[in-house]
Structures are given as structure tokens and as C-alpha cells.
């Protein structure tokens, strides 16, 4: 604005090219900043897409193994969990955010329990539990994350106890 006034007052001044956004005060043309909830929704949406992209080949490769070992419980939970993830991914915002977030969290926790049962303490259950705690904290906040951390700790200790006493 100042350049324009100077150019008008001083007739001998050079023509100044104005950017259209220069006419808008700086406070009105700031970039959109996302709220914490918008970031959480974006993270959840991206994670659901990643689950589909990575999950489809993993599911297809593991189904024959589950059938061969007659691991019907893991096969059932994996099938239902994966199909549920597909549905909540494609329906997106039609399903409430909290329901979508808790669904992904619950599926990961179920996978951790089944992994403890099938593969013991050396399997991938620790990764599922870590995902369960971290993702809960990201999408539902610190109090829920602390609660999930407690659940994860109790689950890990209980699994260790059950495995050592040969209940699994």
C-alpha cells in the first residue's frame, strides 16, 4: 500500500508492480493453521490408507499359513479386523472420528494379544503393543495414552506370566 501511495505522489516514480496479495493485510492472508483435532483426523485418515496398502499383501500372504496351521482364531480376527478397517477407511467422515480411532486401537490391541498367544514374547506382539500405546496417545490424547500404557504394561506382564507358567 505504501508503494502505491509513493508512486501516486511522485509522478516521476517508476511504475511499481503490485502483487494481488499485497492489497490484503498480512493478518488476513496468513496460511491456514490446523487445530490439533484436524491434525489427528488427518493422521488417522493417512494411517487407514497405509493399513490398506500394506495390509492387503500381508493378509493375502498370511491366509494360507493360518489355514495350514489351522489357526482359525487369528484368521477370523485378522479377516474381521481387516474388513472393518476397509469399511471405516472408505466411509471416512460418515463415521464419527472417535469410533474410527477406537476401532483401529482395538484391532491393534487384539492383534497384540493373539501374537502373544501364538508367538510368545519374541513375536511381533511388542510392536503391536507399542503401536497401541503410541497411536492411542496421538489420536485420543495424553490421558488416554497413559491409560493405554497401563493396559499395555499389564498385558505384557500377564502374557509373560502365562507363558512362563505354560498356560499358552
Q: pLDDT digits over 121-136, tens only?
A: 888 889 999 999 999 9
Q: What is the pLDDT of residue 148?
A: 96
Q: What is the pLDDT of residue 145?
A: 95
Per-residue pLDDT band at 99 (split at 50, 70, 90): very high
SS (H, E, C) 23-65: HCCHHHCCCCCCCHHHHHHHHHHHHHHHHHHHHHHHHHHHHHH
Please say if the pLDDT value at position 23 is more than 70: no
Q: What is the pLDDT of residue 138?
A: 93
Mean pLDDT of 84-98: 89
Please say if the pLDDT value at position 154 is more than 70: yes
Mean pLDDT of 49-56: 90
Per-residue pLDDT band at 22 (split at 50, 70, 90): low
- Residue 97 in grid coordinates: 472420528
Q: Which pTM does this prediction carry?
A: 0.73
Please say if the pLDDT value at position 49 is more than 80: yes
Per-residue pLDDT band at 11 (split at 50, 70, 90): low
Handedness of CA 8, 9, 15, 21 (dihedral sign): negative
Mean pLDDT of 15-34: 56
Amino acid at each position: 500500500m505504501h508503494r502505491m501511495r509513493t508512486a501516486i505522489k511522485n509522478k516521476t516514480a517508476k511504475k511499481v508492480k503490485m502483487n494481488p496479495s499485497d492489497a490484503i493485510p498480512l493478518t488476513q492472508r496468513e496460511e491456514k493453521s490446523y487445530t490439533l483435532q484436524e491434525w489427528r483426523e488427518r493422521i488417522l485418515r493417512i494411517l487407514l490408507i497405509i493399513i490398506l496398502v500394506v495390509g492387503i499383501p500381508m493378509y493375502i500372504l498370511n491366509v494360507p499359513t493360518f489355514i495350514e496351521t489351522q489357526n482359525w482364531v487369528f484368521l477370523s480376527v485378522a479377516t474381521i479386523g481387516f474388513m472393518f478397517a476397509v469399511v471405516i477407511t472408505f466411509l471416512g467422515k460418515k463415521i464419527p472420528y472417535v469410533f474410527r480411532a477406537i476401532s483401529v486401537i482395538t484391532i491393534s490391541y487384539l492383534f497384540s494379544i493373539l501374537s502373544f498367544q501364538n508367538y510368545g514374547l519374541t513375536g511381533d506382539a511388542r510392536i503391536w503393543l507399542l503401536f497401541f500405546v503410541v497411536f492411542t496417545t496421538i489420536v485420543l490424547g495424553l490421558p488416554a495414552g497413559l491409560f493405554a500404557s497401563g493396559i499395555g504394561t499389564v498385558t505384557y506382564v500377564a502374557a509373560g506370566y502365562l507363558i512362563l507358567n505354560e498356560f499358552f
